[in-house]
Amino acid sequence: MNHQPRPLPWPDHSTPLMLAPMQGLTNQALRSLFAGWVRPDTLFTEFMRVAPGETAKRLSAADLREMAPAEHGIPLVVQLIGHGTEALVSAARIAQQNGATHLNLNLGCPFGRMTTGLTGGGILQRPELLQELVPALRSVIDGSFSIKLRAGYDDPQQIYSLLPLFEAAQVDFLVLHPRTVTQEYQGTADHGVTARVVRETDLPVIANGDIRTAKAARRVLEQTGAAGLMLGRGAIADPLLFQRIRGQAASEPDRAERAAMLRLYLSELLKRYSALFCGEQQILGKVKTVLATMDDPAFAKQFKALKKARSITHFSDLVQSLA
């Protein structure tokens, strides 16, 4: 069967900088802020849980409302997580019927180890299941089909044995986080694995993991030859990381620049979360989840005070005092 190239969810002939899908963080409000402010080349939804078994409600009504080929003029990739070929294929069909163009299968999230079925990174314990699942998904996905995965379940060499399957199934691109599932977020991402994957496959490989500065981003691109980068915690802590990598903002901002970014960022999040979520404590809890990604020692005292704030008014006052 001839492979007809499908449009990828980033501009042609570019090195895309993608905003990672992060559960509890990259909701519509945060994505809209990033889209208008720093313009990632590609956006991902939080993972959408696929209901197993026989059910007419494979995806939640809230998830279906997020189905779209793009948000704010930026390609949007809908990420699915679940287990069972029939359930995931059904969900892919439903997603497309509701407007999704770009679909991604989550094979990396350690969350999957804590459920009754093998989901997310947990599926890598049974790689033989992928022999049926991946081609079946490809057969029903009309737009781009990508996979986000870890280097392996407990063996960082596992990824190399999976590449022939991904290529034969005509997956469009991979997003690789070079830790194992069992590592969760311990240790460091081994981008030597990323570099070898890039060498061993013709599929575009997006590098993900421990990219928190412009210097680190450039090093990963140079050392791996990756087609692009996916930015997660580093970008949530510092949205201007996109602009820093592009050379459109200071690579190493001084304290005043960092404080100005924080004031704008946290104020905008508070405003957008107030419109999206209900109740003062839920709104504060969501903003504090973002705050938890920030580890800048220069603002440690101020971050501690913000985490202790019990009202939106107090939190907002503390944000405006950041300097």
DSSP-derived secondary structure for 186-254: -S---HHHHHHHHHH-SS-EEEESS--SHHHHHHHHHHH--SEEEE-HHHHH-TTHHHHHTTSS-SS--
Least confident of 12-26, 102-116, 120-134: 102-116
pLDDT tops 90 at residue 111 = no
Query: Residues of the chain with pLDDT > 70: what percent?
Result: 97
- Tens of pLDDT along 218-255? 999 999 999 999 999 999 999 999 999 999 999 999 99
When pLDDT is cut at 50, 70 and 90, the band that residue 112 belongs to is low
Query: Exposed e or buried b for every residue in 266-305, given b needs 16+ CB within 10 A?
Result: bbbbbebbbeebeeeeebbebbeebbebbeeeebeebbee
- Tens of pLDDT along 5-45? 799 999 999 999 999 999 999 999 999 999 999 999 999 99
When pLDDT is cut at 50, 70 and 90, the band that residue 1 belongs to is very low
Query: Residues of the chain with pLDDT > 90: what percent?
Result: 93
pLDDT tops 50 at residue 2 = no
Nearest to 180 by CA among 134, 106, 121: 121
Element (DSSP H or E) covering residue 43:
strand 43-44
Neighbour count for residue 318 (Cβ, 10 Å): 17
When pLDDT is cut at 50, 70 and 90, the band that residue 116 belongs to is low
Burial class (CB in 10 A: 0-12, 13-18, 19+), 24: exposed
Give 145-192 as a DSSP string.
EEEEEEEESS-TTHHHHHHHHHHHTT--EEEEEEEETTTTT-S---HH
- Tens of pLDDT along 157-199? 999 999 999 999 999 999 999 999 999 999 999 999 999 999 9
User: Can you give the pLDDT at residue 110?
Assistant: 83
Query: Exposed e or buried b for every residue in 42-81, given b needs 16+ CB within 10 A?
Result: bbbbbbbbbbbeeeeebbeeebbebbbbebeebbbbbbbb
Q: How far apart are CA 85 and CA 58, in angstroms?
A: 13
When pLDDT is cut at 50, 70 and 90, the band that residue 4 belongs to is low
Q: Is 84 left (phi over 0), alpha (psi -120 to 50) or beta?
A: left
Least confident of 48-52, 130-134, 189-193, 201-205: 48-52
- The dihedral over CA atoms of 236, 240, 246, 247, expressed in degrees to the nearest 10, equals -150
Assigned CATH topology for domain 17-245: TIM Barrel (3.20.20)
Report DSSP state, residue 124: G
- Tens of pLDDT along 256-296? 999 999 999 999 999 999 999 999 999 999 999 999 999 99
Q: What is the mean pLDDT of residues 89-108?
A: 97
User: Can you give the pLDDT at residue 261?
Assistant: 98
User: Can you give the pLDDT at residue 124?
Assistant: 96
Element (DSSP H or E) covering residue 17:
strand 17-19
Q: How far apart are CA 128 and CA 190, in angstroms?
A: 25
Q: Which long-range contacts (CB under 8 A, 24 or more apart) does 275-281 make?
A: 275/29, 276/27, 276/28, 276/29, 280/311, 280/312
Give the CA count within 13 Å in the CB-facing half-sphere of 237.
16
The CATH 3.20.20.70 portion of the chain extends over: 17-245
User: Can you give the pLDDT at residue 68?
Assistant: 97
User: Length of the chain in residues, anyone?
Assistant: 323
